């Protein structure tokens, strides 16, 4: 079996909807160990267990069943996109010339920025 046969045999899953992305963010808020930057054996095991719980919680009541791999992949994409979004916001602030903002507000990426610690935190939040 060559690589072309493997690609033809796989079925592509549906794109993540806005509701699914918000549900994933909510599930990650409940499993904050996933956001831990430590990579020792104990922490990695705890993270894997948290992803299993998160996947189970995410799939309960959902239209599409998602696996760990796809949830981790979309989370990493959201983190990456949020960093680019934040950088574009900073560039837009210092750009001269005035006019309307070129970067449109994205509430999903704003939530991700708060979770990963790069966004503005709500008032009274002492994390």
Quick check: is 65 in a domain? yes
Quick check: is 123 in a domain? no
Quick check: is 122 in a domain? no
What confidence tens digit (pLDDT) does each residue in 13-53 have?
A: 889 999 999 999 999 999 999 999 999 999 999 999 999 99
Cβ(94)–Cβ(102) under 8 Å? no
Domain range for residue 46?
14-116
Quick check: is 21 in a domain? yes
Number of domains in the chain: 1
Quick check: is 125 in a domain? no
d(CA 92, CA 100): 10
d(CA 108, CA 78): 8
What confidence tens digit (pLDDT) does each residue in 49-105 have?
A: 999 999 999 999 777 899 999 999 999 999 999 999 999 988 888 876 766 777 888
């Amino acid at each position: 079996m060559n690589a072309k046969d493997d690609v033809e045999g796989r079925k592509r899953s549906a794109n993540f909807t806005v509701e699914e992305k918000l549900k994933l963010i909510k599930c990650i808020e409940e499993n904050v160990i996933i956001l831990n930057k430590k990579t020792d054996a104990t922490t990695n095991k705890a993270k894997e267990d948290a992803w299993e719980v998160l996947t189970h919680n995410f799939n309960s009541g959902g239209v599409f069943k998602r696996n760990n791999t796809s949830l981790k992949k979309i989370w990493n994409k959201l983190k990456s996109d949020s960093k680019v979004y934040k950088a574009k916001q900073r560039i837009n602030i210092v750009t001269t010339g005035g006019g309307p903002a070129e970067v449109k507000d994205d509430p999903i990426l704003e939530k991700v920025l708060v979770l990963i610690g790069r966004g503005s935190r709500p008032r009274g939040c002492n994390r």
